[in-house]
Amino acid sequence: MPDIVSVIRHKRDGLELTGAEIDWVIRAFTHDIVADEQMAALAMAIWFRGMTRAETARWTTAMIDSGRRLDFTGLGLPTVDKHSTGGVGDKITLPLAPLVAACGAAVPQLSGRGLGYAGGTLDKLESIPGWRADLGTVEMAEILTDPAIGAVVCAPTEDLAPADRKLYALRDVTGTVESIPLIASSIMSKKIAEGAGALVLDVKVGSGAYMTELGEARELARTMVELGSDEGLPTVALITRMDTPLGRTAGNALEVREAVEVLAGGGPPDVVELTLALAREMLALAGIDGVDPAERLKDGSAMDRWRAMIAAQGGDPDAALPTAAYTETLRADSDGILTGLDAMAVGVAAWRLGAGRERQGQAVQAGAGVELHAKPGEAVRAGQVLATLHTDTPEKIPAALTTLQGGVRISAEASDGGAPAVPARPLVVERISG
Q: Round to whole Å and give the CA distance between 292 and 247.
A: 22
**Choice between 86 and 367, CB closer to ligand URA:** 86
> Residue 146 catalytic?
no
- Of the residues 11, 113, 171, 357, only one is catalytic, namely 171
Helices 252-263 and 301-312, packing angle to 10 deg: 140
**Choice between 168 and 306, CB closer to ligand URA:** 168
Q: Which window, 99-107, 123-131, 179-187, 390-398, contacts ligand URA (CB under 6 A)?
A: 179-187
Q: Round to whole Å and give the CA distance between 361 and 119.
A: 14
> Residue 83 catalytic?
yes
Q: Which window, 133-141, 181-189, 293-301, 411-419, contacts ligand URA (CB under 6 A)?
A: 181-189
Q: Round to whole Å and give the CA distance between 271 and 81.
A: 18
- Using CB under 6 A as the binding rule, whether residue 252 contacts ligand URA is answered as no
**Choice between 46 and 260, CB closer to ligand URA:** 46
> Residue 186 catalytic?
yes
Among 60, 121, 186, 240, binds ligand URA (CB under 6 A): 186
- The number of residues that bind ligand URA (CB under 6 A) is 6
- Of the residues 58, 83, 166, 357, only one is catalytic, namely 83
Q: What is the dihedral of CA 260, 266, 269, 271, to 10 degrees?
A: 20
Q: Which window, 123-131, 180-188, 222-230, 283-291, contacts ligand URA (CB under 6 A)?
A: 180-188
> Residue 301 catalytic?
no
Among 54, 75, 177, 291, binds ligand URA (CB under 6 A): 177
With residues binned 3-state (H G I as helix, E B as strand, rest as coil), the percentages for the chain, rounded to 5, are 45, 15, 40
- Of the residues 179, 186, 189, 207, only one is catalytic, namely 186
Closest-CB residue for ligand URA?
A: 186
> Residue 190 catalytic?
yes
- Using CB under 6 A as the binding rule, whether residue 168 contacts ligand URA is answered as yes
Q: What is the dihedral of CA 142, 285, 308, 76, to 10 degrees?
A: -30
Q: Check: CB of residue 340 under 8 Å from CB of residue 423.
A: no
Q: Round to whole Å and give the CA distance between 53 and 38.
A: 23
Going by C-alpha positions, the residue among 307, 311, 304, 303 that lies closest to residue 266 is: 303
Beta strands in 53-179 (DSSP E): 81-84, 107-110, 151-154
Among 187, 196, 224, 346, binds ligand URA (CB under 6 A): 187
Q: Round to whole Å and give the CA distance between 394 and 383.
A: 22
Q: Check: CB of residue 400 under 8 Å from CB of residue 352.
A: yes
- Using CB under 6 A as the binding rule, whether residue 93 contacts ligand URA is answered as no
DSSP secondary structure letter of residue 211 = B
C-beta of 331: minimal distance to ligand URA in Å? Answer: 35
C-beta of 190: minimal distance to ligand URA in Å? Answer: 6
**Choice between 87 and 293, CB closer to ligand URA:** 87
Q: Round to whole Å and give the CA distance between 104 and 83.
A: 19
Q: Check: CB of residue 255 under 8 Å from CB of residue 126.
A: no
**Choice between 337 and 348, CB closer to ligand URA:** 348
Please report, as ranges, the residues that interact with ligand URA according to CB under 6 A: 168, 177, 182-183, 186-187
Question: Annotated active-site positions, please?
Answer: 83, 164, 171, 186, 190
